[in-house]
Amino acid sequence: MKGSFLVELPNPPCGDPAVIVRPRNRGLAVLAEAGDLSRVSPRRLLSVRVALVSHFHVDHAYGLARLLRVRLGHPERPLSILGPPGSAARVAHHLAGYLWNLLPAYPLDLAVLEVHRDRLETWTFPREAGFDPVRAGSRPWSAGEAVFEIEEEGLLVRCLPLDHGGTTSLAWRIDEEEGLHVDPDALARAGLAPGPWLGELKRLVREGAPPGSLVELPGGRSAPLGDLERELLFRTPGDTVAVACDLSPTEENVGALARFARNVRTLVLEAYYRAADAALAREHGHLATPEAGRLAREAAPGRLVPFHFSPRYEGKEGLLLDELRRFAAPVPVSSATPLDPCSNG
Ligand SMILES: [Zn+2]
Ligand SMILES: [Zn+2]
């Protein structure tokens, strides 16, 4: 299946992690991890609707400075940052690091959603209060459930807390609702002209309106919704991607993440250490290639896209890729769509 999501990794595998997920033909992106964002254009950063930060180790979060810089002065583009407990204070520290005496000139529509074990807390940053965080709400939540929805785009973000050497690292899964399309041949056969009524038809189907509801057609006629749905529309499965990094190689983590990411089309997963350095992986709370491969086999994604290799392997990335291909088989291991400098403009 050719998916709707373009999954782009702007950095080489030993670089600081960042993943950009772009649903095709829609002007928005989801950013997972805010490591090195220096290769990502301002235009692309402006399209980020939500930034997902697994945890606030510096290699995963220092890019927030660039993201926030680009977003200043664009209050028409709301930005939500999702992260573990303490995220609001850490984002506030980012903002507190700069001088804001011309503050009214730099409006920013920012919210932070903190994922706690049992609840989601929303924080806002009113500029009139100097960007000090204000707790705006809290609702119950449990692991694996949806944390964020971009309703108008049919995107749902789920989250799973994992252990990363004693701290929490959040794994993410993005699900797109199934596609509903008009079959142009069926439309021609029925002698119907395309128009805004097709959007209305799809809306009624998505909302589960009764099949007997009458839909107005061009030319003043009408027909039952159920007939039109059967004759004119077809469905395609929604795309799925999961992103996970910085997790201890424990049975509990591997099992929980494999269930959470089961059958996604793309699994973007850290493989920080080679098999020979498995002791370091345990010590520092990371996956080495054997666990990353086993996890991929259990989750059975359409493809595994590895990222976040330790910088110690710079120039030797091929060795990790070879190991992963061996440990993950039969799951194909591939690189993500490279960031195209033209489309990134
Ligand atoms: Zn970390
Ligand atoms: Zn890391």
Residue-wise pLDDT for 277-334, tens only, equals 999 999 999 999 999 999 999 999 999 999 999 999 999 999 999 999 999 999 999 9
Where do the CATH 3.60.15.10 domains begin and end in the chain? 5-177+238-338
CATH number of 5-177+238-338: 3.60.15.10
Tokens 């057609």: give the residue: 217
State both tokens at 151.
């309703």
The answer to whether the predicted template modeling score (pTM) of the entire model surpasses 0.85 is: yes
The pLDDT tens digits of the residues spanning 136-187 come to 999 999 998 999 999 888 899 999 999 999 999 999 999 999 889 999 999 9
**Confidence at 336, pLDDT banded by 50, 70, 90:** confident
Give the Å distance between the CA of 189 and the centre of ligand 2.
Answer: 56
> What dihedral angle (degrees, nearest 10) is formed by the CA atoms of 28, 117, 261, 319?
90
Q: What pairs with residue 122 in β-bridges?
A: 113, 137
Which residues does 287 contact at the CB level (< 8 Å), separation at least 6?
Answer: 247, 249, 269, 270, 271, 272, 273, 281, 295
Please tell me whether residue 194 adopts helix, strand or coil conformation.
coil
State both tokens at 155.
């995107």
Q: Which bound ligand lies closest to the C-alpha atom of 164?
A: 1
Give the Å distance between the CA of 12 and the centre of ligand 1.
Answer: 18
Q: What is the bridge-based pairing of β-strands 18-23 and 5-9? A: antiparallel
Give the Å distance between the CA of 55 and the centre of ligand 1.
Answer: 7
Give the Å distance between the CA of 248 and the centre of ligand 1.
Answer: 10
